[in-house]
Amino acid sequence: MTEESAPAAVLPPSGDGAPPDRDPEAIVAGLIDRARAAMDAYENHDQARVDEAVTALAWSIYKPENARMLAELAVEDTGLGNVESKVVKNSRKTFGTLRDLMRVKTVGAIEELPERGLVKYGKPVGVVGAVCPSTNPAATPVNKAMMALKGGNAVIVAPSPGGQKTTMETVRLMRAELRKAGHPEDLVQVLPPPVDKAMTQALMDMTDLVVVTGSQNNVRRAMKSGTVSIGVGPGNVPVIVDSSADLTDAAQKICASKIFDNATSCSSENAVIILDDVYEAAVAALVEAGGYRCTLHEKAAIEGVLWQGGVLNRRVIAKDADVAAQVFGLPEAAGSAKFFMVEEAEVGGKHSFADEKLSLVLTVYRARDFVDAKRIATAILHVTGLGHSVGIHTKDMDRARDLAASTDVVRVLVNQAHTFGNGGSFDNAMPFTLSMGGGTWAGNTISENLNWSHFINVTHLVTTIPEDRPGEEEMFGNHWTKYGR
C-alpha cells in the first residue's frame, strides 16, 4: 500500500500500537474536517456526478477479483462465514443496491407535485458515521457508503475490531475508485487502527448522522450519543411451515438460507415451526435437503457447547458444518450434513434454543395448528428479534395476511429463502440493504430496510393551491349523529 493509494486516515500510527497520548476526539475531529472539505469539493448538486461516485463505490467491491479477495480476507480476518457466500454477498447486495440507487433522484428537485403546490429538494445530511459489524466487514461499509454518497454526503467508517483489516482494505479500494472518477477521496474515510470503543464513541458523538449495524451495545450507545441515530435490531427469524406448503420447496429454501455464510446473517432462519399434520413429512424434507436430525442426547451435547458463560461459543459461531459437528461432539454423519436440527417442545428464554444462535443449528417446533404456530413465533420473537422478521411457507395467502396483521415485525416473507429475500431481492420489492430496522419494537428509529431516503434532508417549496377546506358537517356529521353536538 503506497502513500498515494492509502488515505491518511487509514495509515496506522507509528509503532505497533496506539501512542499513549492518542486523543480519540482530536483524531475524529480531524477526519470530520477532511470530510467536510471533501463535501465542499463534491459535485453533489449534480445528480449525474453523484451517480458516478456511487457507481465507483459499487465497482470497487463488485469487480470480480476484488469481491473474491475481500471475501477471502474477511474469512481470514474474522474467522466467520465462508468465502463463496461472501463473494455472493459482496456482489449481489452491491449490484442490487446500485440498481435501487440509480432509479431515484436525491439532489436538487427530486419530486414535483403541481396539483399539491409542492416541489421537494434533496439536501445532504452531512458527515455520516457508519458503524459496521465483523459479520460483513466489506459489504456493509460499501453498502452504507453508497447510500451516503447518493445523498451528497461524506462517510467515516467505524470497523469492528474483529474485521478491521478487511474494512480498511475495502475503504482503500473505494477511495481508489473515487479518485479514478475524479471525486474527492475523503468522501470515504475509516477510523485509524487500533479501533476501540473510545474512538467509535467519539465518531458517534461528533458526526451529523450515525448509522449502526451489528452490536446492540453499539446501537444503544449511538441512541444515547445525542447524534441523530439509525440503529437496527437483532434477528432471530422464525419461519412457519404451513399445512399447505410445498414441503420440498420450503425445505430447499430453508436449507439454502440457513447455510448461507454459515448463518451469520441476521435474516437467517433460527427456528422452523411446523404444523402437526405435516410435521414428519416436513422434517423428512429438511433431512433430504441436507439437515441432520439430532437425537435427544446429541441435542443436549449441542446445548452444552453452544453457550459458554452466557455467551455464544466462538468455536461454533459461523463455522462450517464439519468443524461445528466436531466441536459439538456429533457423529461423523452430522459432519457431512449441511445443518443440524434440534427439536423443542417449548420456547425457552435467553441462551436457550429459542435464542439467536449464529450457527448452523436450526430449532424445530411442532405446532398443533396455525394459531399455535403464531403463538410459538411470537414467543420466540419476545426472546430475541421482536420487530425484525418472520417467514411463512404456505399456499394460503389468508394465513400469510393473518400472520402479517398479528405479528409485531417489520417484514413477513412468503415462500422465500429468508436470507436472500429479507434484505432485498430481484424478485421482491424490498430495498437492497445489509441493515434492517425493527421499528420501536426493536428500539429502532426506522421500521423498514435502510435505504437512500434515510441519507437526505428534504426541503419543501410550498405554493398555494385552490382552497381545500371541507364543511363542518363533513367533518363532524357522524359524531353529531351518534353522540350529539
Q: pLDDT tens digit string along 213-224?
A: 988 889 999 999
Report the pLDDT value the prediction gives residue 426, as an integer from 0 to 100.
98
Contacts 24+ apart (CB under 8 A), 113-119: 115/465, 116/465, 117/462, 117/463, 117/464, 117/465, 118/460, 118/461, 118/462, 118/463, 119/460, 119/461
Q: Is the pLDDT of residue 17 over 60?
A: no
Query: What architecture (CATH level 2) is domain 237-422?
Result: 3-Layer(aba) Sandwich (3.40)
Looking at residues 259-281, what average pLDDT do you find?
A: 97
Q: Is residue 430 within 8 Å of 449, Cβ to Cβ? A: yes
Report the pLDDT value the prediction gives residue 152, as an integer from 0 to 100.
98
Model confidence band, residue 115 (pLDDT cutoffs 50, 70, 90): very high
User: And the C-alpha cell for 141?
Assistant: 461499509
Report the pLDDT value the prediction gives residue 216, as an integer from 0 to 100.
87
Percentage of the chain beyond pLDDT 90 is 93
Q: What are the tens digits of pLDDT across the range 19-68?
A: 556 899 999 999 999 999 999 999 999 999 999 999 999 999 999 999 99
Model confidence band, residue 6 (pLDDT cutoffs 50, 70, 90): very low
Who contacts 152 (Cβ-Cβ below 8 Å, separation ≥6)?
39, 42, 44, 45, 50, 106, 107, 122, 123, 124, 456
Q: What are the tens digits of pLDDT across the range 294-350?
A: 999 999 999 999 999 889 999 999 999 999 999 999 999 999 999 999 999 999 999
d(CA 95, CA 131): 21
Report the pLDDT value the prediction gives residue 10, as an integer from 0 to 100.
36
Q: What are the tens digits of pLDDT across the range 355-410?
A: 999 999 999 999 999 999 999 999 999 999 999 999 999 999 999 999 999 999 99
Looking at residues 217-237, what average pLDDT do you find?
A: 93
Report the pLDDT value the prediction gives residue 19, as an integer from 0 to 100.
52
For 119, other C-beta atoms within 10 Å of its C-beta total 16
Domain residue spans in the chain?
24-232+450-460, 237-422
Q: Is the pLDDT of residue 16 over 70?
A: no
Q: What is the DSSP letter of 320?
A: -
Q: What are the tens digits of pLDDT across the range 32-45?
A: 999 999 999 999 99
Least Cα distance to 130 among 188, 51, 56 occurs for 188
Q: What are the tens digits of pLDDT across the range 161-214?
A: 999 999 999 999 999 999 999 999 999 999 999 999 999 999 999 999 999 998
Examine domains 24-232+450-460 and 237-422 and report if their fold is the same: no
d(CA 328, CA 332): 11
Report the pLDDT value the prediction gives residue 214, as an integer from 0 to 100.
85
Model confidence band, residue 15 (pLDDT cutoffs 50, 70, 90): very low
Residue type at 199 in one-letter notation: M
Who contacts 19 (Cβ-Cβ below 8 Å, separation ≥6)?
13
d(CA 363, CA 262): 15
Q: What is the DSSP letter of 192?
A: P
Q: What are the tens digits of pLDDT across the range 392-401?
A: 999 999 999 9
Mean pLDDT estimate for the chain: 94
Report the pLDDT value the prediction gives residue 428, as an integer from 0 to 100.
98
- Give, in order, the Cα–Cα distances in Å from 98 to each of 95, 103, 110, 144: 5, 9, 18, 11
Residue type at 31 in one-letter notation: L
Catalytic residue among 132, 255, 266, 294: 266
| 255 classed as catalytic | no
Report the pLDDT value the prediction gives residue 9, as an integer from 0 to 100.
36
> What is the CA angle 136-38-74, rounded to 5?
15
Report the pLDDT value the prediction gives residue 1, as an integer from 0 to 100.
31
CATH number of 24-232+450-460: 3.40.605.10
Report the pLDDT value the prediction gives residue 294, as an integer from 0 to 100.
98
